[in-house]
Amino acid sequence: MANKDYYETLGLQKGASDDEIKKGFRKQAIKYHPDKNQGDTISEDKFKEVNEAYQVLSNPEKKARYDQYGTADPNGSNPGGGFDFSDMGGFGDIFDSFFGGGGGGSSRRRNGPTRGSDLEYSMTLTFEEAVFGTKKEVSVTRSENCEDCNGTGAQKGTSATTCSQCGGAGQVRVQRQTPLGNFVSTTTCDKCGGTGKIISTPCHTCKGKGKVRKNRKVTVNIPAGVDTNNVMPLRGQGEHGDNSGPPGDLYIKIRVTPSSKFTRKGNDIYVDTHISMGKAALGTEIKVPTVDGDVKYTIPEGTQSATLFRLKSKGVPRVNSSGRGDQYVKVIVDIPKNLNEKQREALFVFMEESGEEITKEEKHKKGFFHK
C-alpha cells in the first residue's frame, strides 16, 4: 500500500492530529471489520488497508517519513501485522460486541460501586394545597439492601470469596487468532457473572441477590406555591446502590386540580365578579373572594365592564422565597334583560337627560309610548 494516501484511507486531511488519527481509525475499523461484514472480501481488504494506514500514522517516525517521502518504508515492506485492540485505551470495548465479549466495560462498572436507580411518583394536589403547602405521605416500592445479609448476598455467618477465574475483576481477557493477526478482547467472567465474587451459601431471604423489594412510607413536605409539572427531588429515597454505591433519588411530580373559583397564572390569581349596571355607574363596595377569605373592595363610579383591579400580595406564595403574587379582579357589568315599564321609562329619561337621540321606533318599542 506504499505510495497510497493513508490519510484518505482514514477519512482525514493531511496533517491530522494524533487524536484525529485515532478517531478516524476507530470509525473506519468499525465500518469494515470482518466480523461485521462476514463473507465480504471487499470489506476485508478495506480493513487491512485501514489497519496498515493506522500502523504508519500512529507511529511518529513512520508518519514523519511518510509525510516527507509519501511512503513509510523505502523497501516496500508491509508495516501492518498483528494488532492488539485491547491496548488502545479502551478501544477494545468497542470490539467486544464483534468478538462475543458481552460488554467488558459494563462488567467493570458492575463490579464497582454503582449508584441506585431513581424513582418517580406522581402526586395530585388540590388548588388550596398547592397554594399554601401541605404534608403528604406516599407509598414507594423500591429495592433495598437485604437486612439479613447486609447486602452481601451470603448467608449470615458466611462470606463471599474472590472468584478464582477472574481474580475478582469480574472480567477475563480472551485472545483469538484470525487471518489478520491476534485480537484480544475482554468479556464478562462466566463463573461469577461479572461480580468478581462467588457465594457458596446464598442468603435465604434475598436468595443471594443482596437486594429485596420493600414498600416504604415516605413523608413529603410540599412547599407553598408549587404548580402543575413542578418536580420535587427527595435525595437518597430511590433504589439502593450496588457494592456500597449510593442510593438513587425519588422525584415527586406535581399535578394540581383546577379551582372552580380561581384561575392561576404563575404566582397571580384571577377571579371574575359581577355587578349591576347601576352600581357600575354609581360606584359600590363589593365582597371579593380570595384564597385567604373574602375581602371588601370599593368599585369607583363609572367602572366599565372587563375592568381589572389589583389586590396586591393576595396571590400565590413564591416557592422557597418571600413574597406573593397578586390577585386580579375582573369586573363584569351585567346588562338587564326583560325590563318592566317603569324601568324602561327610567332609561328613556336617563337617555334624554344624557342628550341621546331617541328614535320613534325606540319610543314605540313593545307598546311604550313616550310623551
Question: Binding site annotation covers 149?
Answer: yes
Q: What value does the mean pLDDT of the chain take?
A: 84
Question: Binding site annotation covers 183?
Answer: no
pLDDT of residue 187 exceeding 60, the answer is yes
pTM of this structure:
0.62
Pick the CATH number of 119-256 from 2.10.230.10, 3.40.960.10, 3.40.50.12780, 3.40.50.800: 2.10.230.10
Question: Binding site annotation covers 209?
Answer: no
Tell me how crowded residue 269 is: count the other CB atoms within 10 A of its CB: 26
What is residue 36's predicted lDDT score, i.e. its pLDDT? 73
Question: Binding site annotation covers 102?
Answer: no
Using pLDDT thresholds of 50, 70 and 90, give the confidence band for residue 41. confident
CA atoms within 13 A on the CB side of 74: 3
What is residue 180's predicted lDDT score, i.e. its pLDDT? 58
Question: Binding site annotation covers 146?
Answer: yes
Question: Binding site annotation covers 137?
Answer: no
Using pLDDT thresholds of 50, 70 and 90, give the confidence band for residue 365. low
- Across residues 97-114, what is the average pLDDT? 50
Which amino acid type is present at position 347?
L
Domain ranges of the chain: 6-81, 119-256, 263-334, 336-371
What is residue 247's predicted lDDT score, i.e. its pLDDT? 94
- Fold annotation for 263-334: HSP40/DNAj peptide-binding domain (2.60.260)
Cell numbers at 336, concatenated = 338587564
Q: Please give the CATH architecture assigned to the domain spanning 6-81.
A: Orthogonal Bundle (1.10)
Using pLDDT thresholds of 50, 70 and 90, give the confidence band for residue 182. low
Q: Would you list the DSSP string of 20-55?
A: HHHHHHHHHHHHH-TTTSTT-HHHHHHHHHHHHHHH
Task: Give the residue with greater pLDDT, 135 vs 58.
Answer: 135
Question: Binding site annotation covers 279?
Answer: no
Question: Binding site annotation covers 310?
Answer: no
What distance in Å separates the CA atoms of residue 122 and residue 255, rounded to the nearest whole number? 7
pLDDT digits (tens, 9 = 90+) for 5-34: 898 999 998 888 888 999 999 898 888 887
What is residue 323's predicted lDDT score, i.e. its pLDDT? 94
6-81 and 263-334 agree in CATH topology:
no
pLDDT digits (tens, 9 = 90+) for 114-166: 899 999 999 999 999 999 999 999 999 999 999 999 988 999 989 999 999 98
pLDDT digits (tens, 9 = 90+) for 230-283: 999 999 999 999 888 899 999 999 999 999 999 999 999 999 999 999 999 999
